A and B are shown apart, each in its own frame.
Chain A
Amino acid sequence: DIQMTQSPSSLSASVGDRVSITCRASQDISNSLAWFQQKPGKAPKSLIYAASSLQSGVPSKFSGSGSATEFTLTISSLQPEDFATYYCQQYSTYPLTFGGGTKVEIK
């Protein structure tokens, strides 16, 4: 199975900060990577697919980059509604696998 490792597992940031989350795959997944946002008690929400394509309706402050084994999700200017847990997922190979999540908290 492909292991997905996210870092950091949590971070504290202030409103207006630029934050980046890294996701590493244990083998080459090309650009078959998605990012999701999840707020407490809610279902995940799709943000990014194909490593860097923005899901329809998602604000452009979210961006994704990377390929092969290293990927990054960046939020350009953190807003109160962005405090949540973020997950990456590879869909290159079965079984599909998620990273462990990164919790973004208010400083």
Chain B
Amino acid sequence: EVQLVESGGGLVQPGGSLRLSCAASGFTFSDHYMDWVRQAPGKGLEWVGRSRNKANSYTTKYAASVKGRFTISRDDSQNLLYLQMNSLKSEDTAVYYCARDHPYYSDVWGKGTTVIVSS
């Protein structure tokens, strides 16, 4: 069964850092682009960024709202996707989802992990 499980969410103070993880199983992780998407409370979906696969040099793309603060990385040997979030702001409060791309749209989503940025 194809599965994505996010972890690492929690409460963090403004200006702080947090690293989210996404554990993938049931498919060849290294073949796929992977996305992070977030959803602020009561709001719509916002694409955060993408990690391309090894064949595309693991290049990354980001939304303007997080560029320079967030970094996406992956460990294909462990089937893990990461989102390093620095300089967190209150507006980063959201549920963060990881999603598998097939190849350019998200066909499988995790259940999400909640990040709350508050003092």
A interface residues, Cβ below 8 angstroms from B: 1, 32, 34, 36, 38, 42-46, 49-50, 55, 87, 89, 91, 94-101
Q: Is the interface of A mostly helix, strand, loop or mixed?
A: loop
Q: Which of B35, B105, B109 has the most CB of A within 10 A?
A: B105
Nearest Cβ distance between residue A105 and chain B, in whole angstroms? 16
> Chain B contacts of A1 at CB under 8 A?
64
Q: Is the CB of B109 within 8 A of A98?
A: no
A38 to B43, CA, bound (A): 12
Report the tally of A-B residue pairs with Cβ distances under 8 A.
57
Q: Is the CB of A95 within 8 A of B64?
A: yes
Instruction: Name the residue of chain A whose CB is nearest to the CB of B112.
Output: A43
A58 to B73, CA, bound (A): 31
Q: Is the CB of B108 within 8 A of A46?
A: yes
> Chain B contacts of A95 at CB under 8 A?
47, 61-64
